[in-house]
Amino acid sequence: MKKYLIAPAVVAALATPAVAVERQIGSWNVLEQKDPITDQPRILASIESKSDAAVFGFRCERGRAMMHLQIRYRYQASDRIAVILRVDDNEPIIAEWTPQLGSGIAWVGVSQSTYKAIATAKRISLQLTLRSQHTNGSAVLVFPAVKTAEALRPVIAACPIEAAVQARGARPFHECDPIFEEASDLIEQWKALNESCRGGAGDDEKTNKACEERLIVEKKLGVQGCKFNHSGEWSCKQ
């Protein structure tokens, strides 16, 4: 087996962390440093929700703008994370974020429109929904933002808004958005509720509840592009 020798100067360079500059701007903590491999800037602007011990971050790394959220939970391989994001009074959007295994961090790319909204934000609201083999739950996090435009200036300089790409799976949020629910599963739910709704007594509380829940499932199917056809079956866009 060949042995490779690394010069002491190279070892010292690899062992020396990049010099970081950290400063507080309004409610934002801004960390600036250089990537030790590419020598490109790495900028992170983060804001904390002290009541929930959660941190929302907006970063530029290797020329790519990203958003990330850190909470106390430690993600596992089966975990799926959906986040509804609302900036100030703009329309909320929803996307599935990628969890970093073994940590409490989930992240996603950011679109140009979201990038522009966050660049001057005064309030950032998130609804986090977690689904895994072990747990299902949700939490609402609110981050009051102060001096956002000033804090994000170095992030935007390193990752221009014009270079941002569409966030993976991001779309306008609908109040009946079927988070993590497949159309096939919703159709099976609808069939069971439809049977209870049509087969029960009109003045029965269980019957009325089944009819109400059936209507909610119908709206969810509509959001997914499904329609009830004349043959009595649901058809969904591929």
User: What is the average pLDDT across 10-20?
Assistant: 52
CATH of domain 8-172: 2.60.40.1880
User: What is the average pLDDT across 77-102?
Assistant: 94
Q: For the chain, what are the domain ranges? A: 8-172, 183-236
Confidence of residue 132 (pLDDT cuts 50, 70, 90): confident
Q: Is the pLDDT of residue 187 over 50?
A: yes
Cβ neighbors of 57 (< 8 A, separation 6 or more) are 44, 45, 46, 47, 67, 68, 69, 70
Pairing between β-strand 105-109 and β-strand 226-228 as defined by DSSP bridges: unpaired
Higher pLDDT, residue 30 or 183 = 30
The predicted structure's pLDDT at residue 1: 44
Of the chain, the percentage scoring pLDDT greater than 90 comes to 62
Output the DSSP codes for the chain.
Answer: -------HHHHHHHHSPPP-EEEEETTEEEEEEE-TTT--EEEEEEEEETTTTEEEEEEEETTEEEEEEE-S----TT-EEEEEEEETTSPPEEEEEEE-TTSSEEEEE--HHHHHHHTT-SEEEEEEEEE-SS-EEEEEEEEE-SSHHHHTHHHHHHS-GGG--PPTT-EE--TT--TT--HHHHHHHHHHHHHHHHHS-TT-HHHHHHHHHHHHHHHHHHHTTEEE-TTS-EEE--
The predicted structure's pLDDT at residue 18: 61
Confidence of residue 17 (pLDDT cuts 50, 70, 90): low
Rounded to the nearest integer, the mean pLDDT of the chain is: 87
Q: Is the pLDDT of residue 44 over 90?
A: yes
Measured CA to CA, the distance from residue 155 to residue 163 in angstroms comes to 12
Confidence of residue 214 (pLDDT cuts 50, 70, 90): very high
The predicted structure's pLDDT at residue 135: 76
Q: Is the pLDDT of residue 60 over 80?
A: yes
Residue range 148-172, pLDDT digits in tens: 999 999 999 999 999 998 766 788 9
